[in-house]
A and B are shown apart, each in its own frame.
Chain A
Amino acid sequence: MQSEQALPELLIKMADDELIIGHRNSEWTGLGPVMEEDIAFSSMAQDKIGHAWALYRILQEHFNGSDPDQFAFMREAADFKCSQLAEMPITSYDFSLMRHFLFDHAETVRYQSFSQSSFTPLQQLAAKIKGELKYHTLHADAWILQLCAAGAESKGRMQQALDNCFQLAGGIFEQGEAEEVLIAEKIYPGEAALYQQWLNNISPVIEKAGLTLPQMTAPVYGGRKGQHTEHLQQLLNEMGEVFRLDPEATW
């Protein structure tokens, strides 16, 4: 089966996205603008890292991959396949919120597409995760709408955040090298189809919020090939600092 090579590539990029954005979300712990947001970003971090772990486990069990912790903590930036959107620093709350909105809708579309997947482990995982993701998009939509209705400065900042995030979000849908195989074997419908569905899903919220959706003129690709900004290595250094003190330790 040709998908033996293509599937790990898909699983790794999804898992790396989840791990890295999960870690970024966790940086809001203790710093959220209001307590509820502190809790929300911390909870979402926990969910994302849980999803990453489940995907790394599939790699381990079905593709002879290494232990999830080793895989998560011992690789260098160039071995990571996350999109550059995920690795960006949290910056300000408006940026983080907009990233969360764009990313979580993309994630939802992806897992929904797996409910038809011919690869059973992914299909089973998707059934579990898509119910949980509903809470993430509900949270994102509610705050986008609320902040866009909170005066000119607030709305202006949301538009600015959307403009800053949008091309980066395009990078989520960078096509993989062996994608045709996955489409042909009905593992998933491919990045272009997911991108279209994502646009269909975010557009009504953007419109209701009164924001202008930018044109996708220059999506930021490269992350799926291991090309990253300097922010990723800095994040990995911090994330793995304790783990690497004693990689064989049992936690």
Chain B
Amino acid sequence: MQTITTLQAVYNALDHVMDPEIPVLSVLELGMITDVKVDLEGVHVKMIPTFSACPAIDVIKENIASAVERELQMPAIVTVDKEVNWNSNRLTETAKEKLRNYGIAPPGKHEGEVNLDMLIKVSCPHCGSENTYLRSPFGSALCRALHFCKECGMMFEQFKPLS
């Protein structure tokens, strides 16, 4: 019983750790957490970066550790899980909705492979139009691509689908 309560508290703490580049999403909503264990040593959290060269990874690790330590008063050990790779299907539906409201088009669901259509047919998060085109597969962060909406004339970013 004790353990279940503690685990729930860890997840609550993790839900308070926001991604530094997309501050409306928590590391849980982004699907970055792969395992949580509690033992005599403390709380062990395994996490994965979205893109392997993500420069925010150390900051996120530190934020996870300090949130867990602050909310549970227990030492936290955060490690990168090498056995699991992030892919964009790990984003929860809530996360996708929040992304859209934040002005970033969410990635569509893929079946193991990302095809070109998923990059090209993207609805504008501002006006909802599908009359858009991919301007560049690289945007302001590694996880984003740059699109343009011909309907409302706005540039927008898409969280890239990743297999």
Whether a CB of chain A sits under 8 angstroms from the CB of B5 is no
Known: A36-B135, A128-B85. A135 touches B52 (CB 8 A): no
Whether a CB of chain B sits under 8 angstroms from the CB of A11 is no
Q: Which residues of B contact A48 (CB under 8 A)?
A: 53
Among B54, B83, B137, B142, find the residue whose CB has the most chain A CB atoms closer than 10 A: B137
Whether a CB of chain B sits under 8 angstroms from the CB of A40 is yes
Contact present for A131 and B83 (CB under 8 Å):
no
Interface of A: prevailing SS: helix
Which residues between 33 and 83 of chain A lie within 8 Å of chain B, taking CB atoms? Answer: 36-37, 39-40, 42-44, 46-51, 53-54
CB < 8 Å neighbour of B55 from A46, A121, A135: A46
A residues contacting B by CB (< 8 A) are: 36-37, 39-40, 42-44, 46-51, 53-54, 121, 124-125, 127-129, 131-132, 134-135, 138-139
Q: Which residues of B contact A127 (CB under 8 A)?
A: 85
B residues contacting A by CB (< 8 A) are: 51-55, 82-83, 85-87, 114, 116, 119, 135-140, 142, 145-146, 160, 162-163
Contact present for B138 and A36 (CB under 8 Å):
yes
Contact present for B137 and A131 (CB under 8 Å):
no
Known: A128-B52, A129-B52. A46 touches B136 (CB 8 A): no
Known: A39-B139, A40-B136. A134 touches B114 (CB 8 A): yes
Complex A-B: 25 CB contacts under 8 Å: A36-B136, A37-B136, A40-B137, A43-B138, A46-B55, A47-B142, A48-B53, A49-B53, A50-B52, A53-B53, A124-B82, A128-B52, A128-B85, A131-B87, A132-B51, A132-B162, A134-B114, A134-B163, A135-B137, A135-B138, A135-B145, A138-B116, A138-B119, A139-B136, A139-B138
